[in-house]
Structure 1
Amino acid sequence: MKQAESLSVELDAFLVEYGKRTNAHDVGRLRELIADDASYWLTDGAYEGVEAIAAAVQRTFDAIRDEVYTISDVRWVYVSADFAVVRYRFHWVGFVDGRRCEGRGRGTNALARREGRWQMVHEHLST
């Protein structure tokens, strides 16, 4: 039970940090949490590898000014010592072309522990 609690704390902390870095709109800091071989399925397309993912995320940061991204209803679907899957609901609000906009949807992420640290290996967002 102690190991499961420890994993839960680690994984929750990873998600909090991922959210902070997303809301800082600094792709350089965010990409540190994304595996080199990750795949992301986003509303505007599918991206393979951290370079393509970072470019897609930067386009979003450029398009949505002052965006605040939040997640809720977090549920860890699968957790082991080296792999985890989480699902959640997301909400964002920001300014697009000077107008306040917002959106929401569902997300699923797969994380792997590599070289002693958690990294995002897959993200799927749908609206």
Structure 2
Amino acid sequence: MALYAERINAHRFALVAPLIAPDAVFWFSDGSHKGIDAIERAFAATWATLHDEAYWLEDRRWLTRDGASAVCLYRFCWTASIDGTARSGGGRGTSVLERRSDGWVIVHEHLSATPAQACLTAGPAVGAVCNSSPQS
């Protein structure tokens, strides 16, 4: 998951794509994205909105890990400039990974705002845009 967050910060989907299954399903605040092409479009739309973005994961908790699959819960956080205004935000995430012939890949990701946040929807991969950092 750390490598995934690191590669997201490059804003180059070609670096992120090998970590995502071609048939993955991602659920973001703007809807569901099925398949690598739809997921790439969702990331591109977000990256077009967020300038100078930094993205990271906190409080990772593995619910299950075995030789075939793994499920990770986490808080995602970001800072960026949107329309020239510094913003930060985040939410909670769940990623389901599966071991396939070419290694571990994300088969499902679900990002959402934390219940206490009152935020504006910004783009598919961010979950929410807030004026302050997310609270635990």
User: Normalising by structure 2, what TM-score?
Assistant: 0.81
- CA shift, 1:116, in A, is 4.2
- Structure 2 stretches of 5 or more lacking a match? 114-136
The equivalent residue for 1:10 is none
Task: Look up the match of 1:109.
Answer: 95
- Within a 5 Å distance, the mapping from 1:57-68 to structure 2 comes to 57-68=43-54
1:110 is displaced (CA, Å) by 0.1
Secondary structure of the 1:24 match is coil
Match of 2:70 in 1: 84
1:106, CA displacement in angstroms? 0.3
Corresponding residue for 1:74? 60
Q: 1:76-99 deviations in whole A, cap 9, x for unaligned?
A: 001110100000011111011111
Listed as ranges, the matches of 1:1-127 within 5 Å are 15-127=1-113
For structure 1, the residue ranges without an aligned partner over 5 or more in a row are 1-14
Paired amino acid for 1:121: V
Q: Shift of residue 114 of structure 1?
A: 0.6
After TM superposition, which residue ranges in structure 1, 4 or more long, deviate above 6 angstroms? none
AA partner of residue 56 (structure 1): A
| In structure 1, C-alpha distance between the alignment counterparts of 2:46 and 2:80, rounded to whole Å | 11
Q: What CA deviation, in whole Å up to 9, does each residue of 1:46-105 have, x standing for no partner?
A: 100010001100110111011111111110001110100000011111011111111121
CA distance in 2, matches of 1:52, 1:72: 26
- The CA RMSD over aligned residues, in Å, is 0.8
Number of residue equivalences: 113
> 1:42 corresponds to which letter in structure 2?
F
CA distance in 1, matches of 2:59, 2:52: 24
TM-score (norm 1): 0.86
